[in-house]
Structure 1
């Protein structure tokens, strides 16, 4: 399916409930020209849902824009797609593995010159990597700061299987211009199972830069979100300029039907005044890393120090006010 045929029904209740869909791990949302584009891990392709109202995501048309080839370096385990508008074109960053099952996961890039990413042609730009440290690398995201563009991802150091967060400066949307720098590794008790992954950048109105990341294994009920802060006006490529907060900013709440919340994205409401988070969670204990991880959204605020305050996962089935502007 291509094009945009969704009609948002008149708002008669002013509310919605989580989850937005029955499944959708690793959700990502970007808004362009008044339209939200949503995607999530499918394992086999990249599908984009297009909507003018995030609370109506379940009625949004879904378009498969890319399907994994039968063989090659990006033939299997398609994870964590992210869509970015850079230099007048669309770029899709996704994690994939080789048709050889022993091959580790890496990150790849697709390019599309069309104004609407659900149309046009997606062209492969290949793997984005640090050629001097071409190890396991997943969950890539893009960050623009003070005239430079950076790529941030989760990967291995080539010595062990601990997942760390790395950053490198970009030459163009599919090529790195610098070597990678490790800016985070598991250090607190709540960062169990040796995993920091799913990095996402968040910027407040004072232009303070934060990095939100997922911790622990998705196969556990300990998955959660952590927070790092970049020193004001500092170089993101200097690890000492990043400070990790000692407690998670979003954790599971069994009584709310929220197990293993994590791997998030951020978006603004339609009127541009509200901050919202999208994340996945399981509705029951022990559901692990499967497709039943479902997307949820909720509004968040900021404290007097400019730190994001997400609170606890909203209970499934509980009415929430729709994002302003819907």
Structure 2
């Protein structure tokens, strides 16, 4: 795939894109669909091949109750020999009651085998704070022999600040430790429209672990920041982390890339070059609620590193 032309969307009208490269050599793609009513998967041997790959709808929303509205930001992971999908959903009768949910595939072909519902992601024993309010954008990563879950959660209702939290996992469906607040919207660029930190994604390089995140409302002001820590440090210790003072990726009007964010990471076909998969619009002016404008397109950029090993996000 020509990853140099970052103005060209990989897949149109797919927000919150996530690409996972599996040991079978295939790339697996999922994202939020504009109707927010289902979870789809597609796979291909190359990144570019995902564009025209067959789409498989592997799960549909419920008609009522939990998981009946706002099916957002699915991610597919292969853990302990099984496929899992993590996603957020709310309820028709309470559309902002977003919580993280988990699906498990009963076979080894996630496009064709049955997916079963494991229910809501569970907090650790004794943790009465996690997943009790507006919660979404869960991602899974491993570090130093431990598996972690990172997610966004608002405390105090829909219009409160959205913070990022981190915890060790006991299983694919439950946390092992109480939540640790990784970051809250501190800076002006994280507070435009709404106070938001969300959409975490993880990349490592030269002994460091980096967690990118998205900030502000979902229009042209949407942008990305980054946390960093030593891989060998205690990731559940606030003193281990440093936050970028300024956005690492933001709107570029000249290139007609507006509101870039909610990225994931994968690797190019060469097995070496890291890629950032993100969404952005081609225009700034949006009629109505930005959440329901369908034209957030999935795009891909190659990641380079500076002399210190920090990832660079450059159009």
Q: What is the RMSD computed on CA atoms of the aligned residues?
A: 1.8
**What is the CA distance between 1:207 and its match in structure 2?**
3.4
Rounded Cα–Cα distance in structure 1 between residues aligned with 2:11 and 2:112:
23
Superposition pairs of residues 264-279 of structure 1, within 5 angstroms: 264-279=263-278
Matched with 1:300 is 303
- The answer as to whether partners of 1:34 and 1:270 remain within 8 angstroms in 2 is no
More strand by share: 2
Structure 2 matches for 1:67-216, cutoff 5 A? Answer: 67-101=60-94, 104-130=97-123, 132-133=128-129, 134-158=132-156, 161-192=160-191, 193-204=194-205, 206-216=206-216
1:323 aligns to what? Answer: none
1:269-297 Cα distance to aligned partner (Å, 9 max, x none): 11202111110001001233322100111
Shift, 1:101, TM fit: 2.2
Residues 176-218 of structure 1: CA deviation (Å, up to 9, x unaligned): 11111111001112112200000111111x2310000000010
CA distance in 2, matches of 1:232, 1:21: 33
Looking at structure 2, the residues matched to 229 and 77 of structure 1 have their Cα atoms a distance apart, in angstroms, of: 31
Given that 1:80 and 1:95 are in contact with CA atoms closer than 8 Å, whether structure 2 keeps it comes out as yes
Q: Counterpart in 2 of 1:221? A: 220
Give the TM-score of the pair, scaled to structure 1.
0.87
Structure 1 unpaired stretches of 5+: 1-10, 313-326
Partner secondary structure for residue 250 of structure 1: coil
Unpaired segments ≥5 residues, structure 2: none
Contact 2:69 2:95 in 1 (8 A): no
Q: Once the two structures are superposed, what CA deviation does each residue of 1:109-155 show, in whole Å capped at 9, x if it has no partner?
A: 00014222112111111101435021111000001111211110000
Q: Which residue of 21, 29, 34 maps to 1:38?
A: 29
Q: Which runs of 4+ in 1 moved over 6 A?
A: 13-17
**1:88–1:113 CA contact under 8 A, matched in 2:** no
Q: Please say which of residues 79-88 and 279-288 is displaced more in the overlay.
A: 279-288
State the shift of 1:102 in Å.
5.1
Q: Deviations over 1:235-267 (max 9, x none)?
A: 111122111011111111011110000000111
Counterpart Cα distance in 2 of 1:270 and 1:102: 40
Residues 141 and 14 (structure 1), Cα distance of their counterparts in 2 relative to 1, 3 Å cut: closer
TM-score normalised by L of structure 2: 0.90
1:97 shift after superposition: 0.2
The alignment partner of 1:105 has SS state of strand
Task: Label 1:310 to 1:237 Cα distance change in 2 as closer, same or farther (>3 A).
Answer: same
Q: Distance in 1 between matches of 2:221 and 2:17?
A: 18
Counterparts of 1:96 and 1:26 in 2: how far apart (Å)? 14
Quick one: distance in 1 between partners of 2:12 and 2:110? 24
Shift of residue 15 of structure 1? 7.9
Q: Tell me the SS of whatever aligns to 1:248.
A: coil
Q: For the residues of structure 2 that align with 1:232 and 1:53, how far apart are their CA atoms? A: 30
